[in-house]
Amino acid sequence: MDWLWALLAGAATGVLSGMGIGGGTLLVIYLVNLAGVSQLEAQGINLLYFLPTAGASLVAHVKNKLVEKEAFLWCVAAGVPAAVAGSFWAVSMDTGVLRKIFGGLLVGAGIFQFVRAKK
């Protein structure tokens, strides 16, 4: 029965990720709190899981002409090296510190969304 919950969680977070809602965050929460996976492993699984969902979303957005190609190229040129550097940095950090940083990012994103919605 655990496989069914994992399948449902994966499907739901994939759909949410594709819509840009933050399904990856929900996947990490599920993996750590319900599936018993460590924080570091959950973040790694989330990054691997993100690749196919992001690819499918990108194809749909390009098809609907929602992607500015020049901006996309600049984001890739800056984002890939930053992601590689950040992953090496995260591996060397204590898991407790990673949890606090991740929590801070979630709180910051929530505050940003709340303030943005008020405008």
The span from the CA of 47 to the CA of 52, in Å, is: 10
**Range ranked top by mean pLDDT from 44-48, 51-55, 81-85, 113-117:** 81-85
pLDDT per residue as tens digits for the range 29-55 = 888 988 899 988 998 888 888 888 788
pLDDT per residue as tens digits for the range 63-78 = 999 999 999 999 999 9
* Under 8 Å between Cβ of 117 and 58: no
Tell me what pLDDT residue 102 has.
Answer: 85
Taking the chain, what is the end-to-end CA distance rounded to the nearest angstrom?
45
Predicted confidence band at 20 (pLDDT cuts at 50, 70, 90)? low
* Under 8 Å between Cβ of 29 and 14: no
Please provide residue 61's backbone torsions phi and psi, each rounded to the nearest 5 degrees: -70, -40
Q: Across all residues in the chain, what is the average pLDDT?
A: 86
